[in-house]
């Protein structure tokens, strides 16, 4: 059950180029978070921009405060792209943020125990939502993590994934780090080898173009592939029907990324819309 509350900024640091890590003290929301969920965030008291912005949840820490209700912080990793995120970079320690969350349906985890492997594919800031999933999947499974971006400064969370028990593959479109090309190309080049190691669910998160590429590459073959989608949102909690994506559901083809998603079975999506 989501709630609307306030959080206190603990840290707001630039980690590389346009990317920032925002850590928020907010026990009531932190304790509810599941991998793949998101929050709608707004600077407390600010009317500009008008709408909240959606952010994937990165790490959570339920701490060890003496009082149980004071335990709980979470972080988000965001990219400075427009007016809203520009203002967010100016948030200082102690500032208040207005939060609605946790929202949406996260990843289905853990997958059936028969899967000893899992493949994670993230593009740009999309990789963030795969990190809490990787933490949940790590025990007893072999994780293959594909991280992609336009250039090396777009490759995020490398250190974090290295701390987990995982094989990491990096791709940049300009070749400045790892394989030159898209992360989907890199995944395809390794696919046969990974398949030989046994059945593996695929979890993916990134821009629409990347997910479309993945869906095309996997074709009509039956596969378990969950993908977390990005969309422009107004409310984030299912009221406005602004963030929809087209699916194969005959009754309600346009489903809400914020409510039925942000994680969908990739095979359920109809492509072709912008």
Partner 1 sequence: MTIGKLKLKNPVMVASGTFGFGEEYQDFMELDRLGAIIPKGISLKPMVGNLPPRIFETEGGILNSIGLQNPGLHQFIKDKLPFLTRIRTHLIVNFFGNTQKEYIELAGCLNEVPGISGLEMNISCPNVKQGGIAFCSDPRMTYRLVRAVRKSTQLPLIVKLSPNVTDIDSLAKIAEEEGADAVSLVNTFKAMAINIHSRKPELGNIIGGLSGPAIKPIALRMVWEVSQRVKIPVIGMGGIVKAEDAIEFILAGASAIQIGTANLVNPQTSTEVIQGIKKYLAENKIHHVRRLIGLFRP
Residue with token string 């949406």: 104
- Residue 252 interacts with partner 1 (CB under 8 A): yes or no: yes
Q: Cα(118)–Cα(102) distance, rounded to whole angstroms?
A: 25
The dihedral through the CA atoms of 62, 64, 65, 66 has a sign that is: positive
Nearer CB in complex with partner 1: 2/72: 2
Stretch that binds partner 1, among 136-144, 176-184, 191-199, 239-247 (CB under 8 A): 239-247
Q: How far is CA 132 from the centre of its chain?
A: 9
- Residue 64 interacts with partner 1 (CB under 8 A): yes or no: no
49 vs 43, 53, 95, 226, 245, CA distance in Å? 9, 9, 17, 32, 24
Stretch that binds partner 1, among 59-67, 130-138, 150-158, 253-261 (CB under 8 A): 253-261
- Residue 16 interacts with partner 1 (CB under 8 A): yes or no: no
57 vs 74, 102, 103, 225, CA distance in Å? 7, 9, 10, 20
| Binding test (CB under 8 A) with partner 1, winner from 243, 263, 266, 269 | 243
- Reported as type and span, the H/E element at residue 247 is none
Burial 86-100 (b: 16+ CB within 10 A, else e): ebbeebeeeeebbbb
Whether residue 66 has a cis bond before it, omega within 30° of 0: no
| Binding test (CB under 8 A) with partner 1, winner from 24, 38, 42, 118 | 42
- Residue 41 interacts with partner 1 (CB under 8 A): yes or no: no
Nearer CB in complex with partner 1: 179/212: 212
Considering only residues 210 to 229 of the shown chain, the ones binding partner 1 according to CB under 8 A are none
Q: How far is the CB of 38 from partner 1 (least distance, A)?
A: 16
- Residue 195 interacts with partner 1 (CB under 8 A): yes or no: no
Binding site for partner 1 (CB under 8 A): 1-4, 42, 47-52, 98, 100, 231-235, 237-246, 251-254, 259, 273-274
């Amino acid at each position: 059950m989501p709630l609307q509350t306030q959080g206190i900024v603990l840290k707001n640091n630039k980690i590389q180029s346009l990317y920032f890590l925002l850590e928020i003290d907010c026990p009531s929301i932190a304790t509810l978070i599941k991998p793949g969920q998101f929050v709608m965030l707004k600077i407390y008291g600010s009317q500009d921009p008008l709408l909240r912005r959606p952010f994937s949840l990165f790490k959570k820490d339920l701490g060890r405060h003496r009082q149980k209700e004071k335990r709980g912080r979470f972080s988000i990793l965001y990219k400075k792209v427009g007016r809203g995120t520009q203002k967010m970079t100016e948030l200082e320690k102690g500032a208040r943020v207005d939060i609605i969350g946790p929202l949406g349906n996260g990843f289905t985890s853990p997958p059936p125990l028969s899967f000893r492997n899992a493949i994670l594919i993230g593009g740009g800031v999309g990789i963030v939502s795969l990190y809490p999933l990787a933490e949940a999947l790590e025990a007893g499974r072999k994780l293959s993590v594909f991280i992609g971006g336009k250039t090396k400064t777009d490759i995020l969370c490398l250190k974090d994934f290295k701390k987990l028990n995982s094989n990491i593959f990096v791709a940049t479109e300009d070749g400045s780090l790892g394989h030159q090309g898209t992360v989907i190309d890199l995944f395809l080049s390794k696919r046969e080898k990974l398949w030989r190691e046994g059945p593996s669910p695929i979890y993916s998160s990134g821009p629409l173009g990347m997910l479309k590429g993945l869906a095309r590459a996997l074709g009509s073959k039956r596969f378990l592939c969950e993908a977390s989608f990005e969309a422009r949102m107004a409310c984030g909690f299912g009221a406005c029907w602004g963030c929809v994506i087209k699916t194969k559901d005959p009754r309600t083809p346009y489903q809400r990324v914020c409510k039925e998603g942000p994680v969908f079975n990739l095979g359920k999506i109809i492509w072709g819309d912008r």
